[in-house]
Structure 1
């Protein structure tokens, strides 16, 4: 079975859509480069920076909370704050997708920007668990959800042959956020305190979020309103197995991002000062893992890149069990960060390849991200519950098993799409 090309998808969308006063522009007018198109990538980069980037930063806060005013709370309870934040980022897309389709892009970005910045300012004055749950979990999570769909939807309308690469560059913003924000927090918190360290991050978010509000523009509107749900999609084995893979993948994927700092400090592998930088190393490697594989995916097909990278991530998670020294942990963070990065950047373009036409891409993307969101919601708290028994090996094995199951289901989806291994899928 040959892979569906973006040009074919847009043609199908125009053929299938009902008449509308606003029709998509012809495929030939898609810029696929140029100043305006790359400005959209820059704007999307900052949206990722302040949505996924904040999710990628939570590991630094988890370690701090456990060692300070939430010392009496379990690791599992603390991780619920970050898990709900990440869950809302993905699940809110089911609602914000139709809002985006209706032409309210600027409203979504403005509301999302206000919520994430306001949530971080409120986090800076929190003193109790439930205050953090409301500010950092719910408020920042809802704001991130408003920013996420625009960050992936705009870029895809400006590129065809460079779609995966452009999306990867935009998605690398989440890794950059996961590098700079934990370092800022680790450096400033001992000097100016938790409150002002968090406020500095909030001020940076405020400044950078002015970029998408200034430069990002909707190129085309959909010819028809997006549906919230398409039951028929689950009759297709590739899409169903891919969505199941998203659930298990995100269930295990973020465990190192949440717990690597606690692991190296609790196991006395590193000092607390050096241990704080492991999250930044993970995210720095993930930056390259979201750009390089995406560049290659435009030539190989997103599925053909996603499956092997997922397999390597699963193997690395199991290898983590045997790593007991500083050098080994640093190498693990670099490799795991790189290969796991594809699991965030490639799914949007993979959903495009699994859709019969562009008219259902948004709906299917929201459905698939919902599976990922529920995986994120339960994965890290489960890891925290395992850790409560004192078993770091259990946490590491759970991470590896979840990503391994995701790899198997992704492989089934890939083979169901095309049994020819050399085909571009």
Structure 2
């Protein structure tokens, strides 16, 4: 083997293969050669990044992409998504049943606060859940959220008719808090096991939301009619409890990815501050806020929409299931493209398609039209939801900040998730003027798509500037070492 070069450049790879952060480390530090690559025992370098971060990022090699633990973790994440966001995506069933039977005296806007609060807490706790995940407390989050979720889900079955506060506290607040603790970490933990196929693995996990929404929708519609509200909720809660308990046993978190507590707290704090100075990242978040403001209108109102249009009751019950079934394909198929291209670049045309399909609801006048529009919207909205995590991952500079970046993005998304459904309910009114909320939702999605286009430009500029700066630093360092060697030789 030839001489080792005078300086060793170690590159931390982000999710996107074309994004690198060069770190130069002097070979004067103790080093060994293991398994075909150099290992440096020093724990500091010129950019203040610890060597443990390099070890974490290189822990997942090209040949170690998944494995049994990895795919078991994907299965566990799939179950978590089915029990959490899958249940939220079935809220259209609750909205319809509450409006017709259980809360018949309340407005659609007030009822939607239950679902929007649940959804906003699911997203809003993202920054807390993300930082806890980066500190290595994933298992504590998983067990705590499972216990709280099961308790509140069964408490929902005790709620009495026309008692809004009982439904809000158990379903909106309690279950929302439980979901928020585990939703984003169930995506982030995939980064412990996958690199090359990370978007595909995250797409499978995201598919759990759609699969869960399908059977939760059908199950709740059938059981509400046959068993009544309380027994239907108990049966549904038992199913959700089983899925979460199985997830507790199947998800594996790699210990070597976790840093010491003191070091991790400091670095998470510094990283979080630096995120807000990245124009591309912040514009993506702004786009996500606008898109989410209109994205959940069909999930909350499509069953009521179909019923109000005069379509058969049987079809109306399955309209939400059609939307969620088509989203399975979008969540699993399109993320595969993101494994070979920039996820943000793939996300832009998908968001445009979501906006177009939203406006298409204005033209629905038949069962066939409703089914087609719901299926197209579900396909592209599912792809959008599945690509959010890979997009945030691709904008990360190291593995250790993925959880925090995703958490911040999801937390901001909670703002629009809380406001969107009630705003749509107010626009809908008691006269059921469907054009108003549809136009509002479509316009918000299109504005968010424009933000993503701008964000792509800024992100590309930032990456180019960072690459040029790093290259200049490397050249300067190399010349300095070369000059030092020359002087030593002359002496």
TM bucket, shorter chain: over 0.9
Q: Per-residue deviation at 1:27?
A: 3.7
Deviations 1:161-194 (A, max 9, x none): 1000000001110001110001001111111111
Seen in structure 2, the aligned counterparts of structure 1 residues 28 and 233 have a Cα distance that, compared at 3 Å, is: closer
Alpha-carbon distance, 1:349 to partner: 1.2
Q: TM-score, with normalisation over the residues of structure 2? A: 0.80
TM-fit CA distance, 1:26: 2.6
Quick one: distance in 2 between partners of 1:260 and 1:306? Answer: 24
Paired with 1:11 and 1:349, the residues of 2 have a C-alpha distance of 22
Q: Distance in 2 between matches of 1:228 and 1:343?
A: 30
Structure 1 window deviating more from structure 2 (90-99 vs 219-228): it is 219-228
Does 2:448 match 1:409?
A: no
- Structure 1 residues 312 and 28, CA, compared in 2 at 3 Å: closer, same or farther? closer
Cα 1:254–1:228 change in 2 (3 A) is farther
Alignment correspondent of 2:257: 221
C-alpha distance in structure 2 between counterparts of 1:24 and 1:210, whole Å: 29
CA apart distance, 1:4: 5.1
Task: For residues 293-326 of structure 1, give each alpha carbon's deviation from its aligned partner in whole angstroms, at most 9, with x where no partner exists.
Answer: 1011111221121110100110111111111110
Give the aligned partner of residue 381 of structure 1: 422
Instruction: Specify the alignment match of 2:329 in structure 1.
Output: 288
CA distance in 1, matches of 2:297, 2:66: 36
Deviations 1:260-295 (Å, cap 9, x if unpaired)?
011111121x12232011111111111111111101
Q: Secondary structure in 2 aligned to 1:341?
A: helix
Is 2:248 the counterpart of 1:177? no
Q: 2:328 and 2:21 mapped to 1: Cα distance? A: 30
Which residue among 179, 186, 199 is the counterpart of 1:164?
A: 199
Matched, 1:17 2:49: yes
Structure 1, unaligned runs of 5 or more: 420-425
- Whole-Å Cα distance in 2 between the matches of residues 153 and 138 of structure 1? 24
**Aligned pair count?**
416
Contact 1:22/1:221 (<8 A) preserved: no
* Match for residue 418 of structure 1 among 438, 443, 460: 460
2:106 alignment partner in structure 1: 73
Q: 2:154 aligns with which of 117, 121, 133?
A: 121
CA root-mean-square deviation: 2.3
State the Cα distance separating 1:150 from its structure 2 match: 2.4
1:314 matched residue in structure 2: 355
Task: Give the distance between the partners of 1:179 and 1:235, measured in 2 at CA.
Answer: 40
Residue matched to 1:275: 316
The equivalent of 1:104 in structure 2 is: 137
CA distances 1:97-129 after superposition (whole Å, capped 9, x unpaired): 222233322221111112222222111121211
Match of 2:488 in 1: none
1:6 CA displacement: 5.4
Distance 2:408 2:328 in 1: 26
Q: Is the 8 A contact 1:289 1:341 kept in 2?
A: yes
- Per the TM alignment, residue 18 of structure 1 is displaced from its structure 2 partner at its CA by 4.2
Tell me if the contact between 1:228 and 1:363 (Cα under 8 Å) persists in the aligned partners.
Answer: no
Cα 1:9–1:367 shift into 2, 3 Å: farther
Q: Tell me which of 229, 240, 243 is aligned to 2:282.
A: 240
Single out whichever of 175-184 and 149-158 deviates more from structure 2: 149-158
Find the aligned partners of 2:435 and 2:355 in 1 and give their Cα distance.
Answer: 15
Give the structure 1 partner of residue 486 of structure 2.
none
Q: Give the conservation status (yes or no) of the 8 Å contact 2:200–2:339.
A: yes
Distance 1:308 1:25, change over 3 A: closer
Greater strand percent: which structure? 2
Alignment CA distance shift 1:304-1:10 (3 Å): same
What is the aligned counterpart of 1:400 among 415, 430, 442? Answer: 442
Counting only pairs closer than 5 Å after superposition, residues 328-339 of structure 1 correspond to structure 2 as: 328-339=369-380
- Check conservation: 1:14, 1:24, Cα contact below 8 A: no
Aligned to 2:79: 46
Is the Cα–Cα contact under 8 Å of residues 121 and 199 in structure 1 kept in the other structure? yes
Most deviating of 102-111 and 56-65: 102-111
| 2:58 counterpart of 1:26 | yes
* Distance apart, 1:355 and its partner CA: 2.5
Contact 1:117 1:205 survives alignment (8 Å): yes
5+ residue gaps, structure 2, are 1-12, 24-42, 462-491
Q: Within 1, Cα distance between the matches of 2:68 and 2:146?
A: 24
Secondary structure of the 2:253 match is coil
Give the CA deviation at 1:206: 1.1
